[in-house]
Amino acid sequence: METCLTLSLPAVDLVKKYNVPVPRYTSYPTVPFWGNSLPAVAQWQEVLLSTFSASNQQEGISLYIHLPFCESLCTYCGCNKRITKNHGVEPVYLKAVLQEWGKYLALFPQKPIIREIHLGGGTPTFFSPENLQYLINGILAQAEVHPQHEFSFEGHPNNTTAQHLQALYDVGFRRVSYGVQDLSEKVQKAINRLQPLENLVQATQLARQIGYTSVNYDLIYGLPFQNPASMEDTFRQVIGLKPDRIAYYSYAHVPWKEKSQRHYSEADLPSDSDKLALYTLGQTMLSEAGYEDVGMDHFAFPQEELCVAQREGRLHRNFMGYTTNQTHLMVGLGVSSISDLSRGYLQNVKTVEEYYALLAMGEWPLFKGYLLTQEDAQMRRHILDIACNGKTNWQHSPGAELIREQVQPVLQSLAADGLIELGKEELVLTSTGLRFLRSVCAAFDLYLKKGTNNASAQPMFSKAV
C-alpha cells in the first residue's frame, strides 16, 4: 500500500445496517468462542516452544504485562481492574509476576530476546517509579533486548510523573499512551475520571523532554453527555498538543457485564446517529490536522511508525492492538493476561487471589486456552490481512472452497454496499469500508456466524459504531 487508508463519510443507511455487535479482532477465534477449558499441558507447551524456537532468533518475542490496580473507578471501564489506595500491594504483585515469568524462562530452551514490552492495566502508573523499574529489570535480567525493541506503557495524566517517565525511559521505554477519553468536565464527572487539561499538557511535555519518541492519546466517543460542541472542543485541545498517535474508540455500553456502567442510564448516552456524528467530527478534524487513518479507530501522522509499518506491509495486530512488529509469540503476564502463541492462546485467571494461590502451589496461573485448527489459521490470516493491510486474497489458500461456500455471499453484499472491491479471489477495502473494518473482517469469522443464531443471549461484543 502506498499510503495509509483514508475515510469517506458513510451513508446513514449503512450505519443502520452494519452497526451491530462485532469483535475488534485482537484474536481469532475471539475469546468468547474458546470455551472454558485449558488444553492439556503437553499440548500447549509444545505449541509454545515450537513458536518460541521459530521466532526468538528472528523477530524476538513480545510481553504484555497486566498491572490491574487503580486508585479510583472509572465507571465506563471494561478492563480487568482492582480498586485500592493501598500501595502495599505493589511489591507482592510484582514478585508474583516475576515468579510467573520464571516459569516461562524455565521452559524456554535458550535466553529469550525481547522485542516488545507493553504495560497495561488498570493503571500502570499506580506503581511507583522504583517498583516499575524493579519489574522491568527483573524481566530483562535473564533475557536479551532486541536492538529494534519497542517498549510502551499506559499512563494516567493525573499520576504520571517525571520520575515515572524517567525510570521507564532508563530501562528502554520510548512510547507512552495516555488515557484522555474526553476533556469535558461534565463528561469526566459522569465517568468519574476528573483530569484537568493542564495535567495532560504536563505529562505530554515531560515525556517529550525526557526523550519519548511516541505519545498516544486514547479518546472515546459515545460516553454520557457527549455532544458535537464538547467533542469539537476536546479535539481542538488534543490536536493542539500534537500527539503522534490517537486511538478514537467507540464506547462499549455493557452494563450487564460492568456494573459500574449503571451509574448513568442509556438516556444519557448519544444515540447511534449521534455517535456517528461524533466519530465523523473527530475523524474530520484529525484528517484536517494531517493525521491518517490506520484502521480500527487508530490515527497517526504519516511519518509515525504505525503508518510507516502499514505502508511497508509489516503492521500486525494482537491483544496489544496494532503493533509495528510481527512477533509470532506474545507472552501475557499478570492477572487476566492472554498469551498469543500464533497457533493458540492461553489466558490467566482473572482475580489476584487465584493468581497468587496458583503460583504459590507452583502451578501455572491459567484457566483457559485454545489451540487453532487449520481452518482457524486460514481465517485468521485473512482477518489480519484485512485489518492491517486493507486487503486479502485466497487464490492459493487451502480454504478457498470454504470461502466460496460460506464467505462469498457476505462479501458480495459488502461489495454491493461499497465497502469492498471484490475480485474473483481477492478483496480490497474501500474508503467507506474502512469505517466498517470490523464488519468486513467479520465476513471471515465462521464462529460469529454460528454465535449469532442465539438471538436471546446478551451481545458478546460492542457495536461497530
307 known member of a binding site = no
| Residue 9 phi, psi dihedral angles, 5° rounding | -70, 120
193 known member of a binding site = yes
388 known member of a binding site = no
400 known member of a binding site = no
182 known member of a binding site = no
334 known member of a binding site = no
Cβ–Cβ < 8 Å for 76, 223: yes
CA–CA dist 55, 42 (Å, integer): 20
190 known member of a binding site = no
Strand, helix or coil for residue 422: strand
Cβ–Cβ < 8 Å for 261, 253: yes
74 known member of a binding site = yes
Handedness of CA 154, 157, 159, 163 (dihedral sign): positive
Cβ–Cβ < 8 Å for 108, 54: no
C-alpha cell at 274: 449521534
Q: Exposed, middle or buried: residue 126 (CB in 10 Å: 0-12, 13-18, 19+)?
A: buried
b/e sequence 31-65, b meaning 16+ C-beta within 10 Å = bebbeeebbeeeebebbbeebbeebbeebbbbbbb
122 known member of a binding site = yes
b/e sequence 225-252, b meaning 16+ C-beta within 10 Å = bbeeebbeebbeebbebebbbbbbbbbb
CA-to-CA separations, 328 to 61, 307, 317, 384, 423, in angstroms, rounded: 7, 21, 11, 13, 30
Strand, helix or coil for residue 446: helix
SS3 content of the chain, % helix, strand, coil (to 5): 40, 20, 40
Give the residue numbers of the binding site. 64, 70, 74, 76-78, 121-123, 154, 181, 193, 218, 252, 338
Give the residue numbers of the binding site for S-adenosyl-L-methionine. 64, 76-78, 121-123, 154, 181, 193, 218, 252, 338
Give the residue numbers of the binding site for [4Fe-4S] cluster. 70, 74, 77
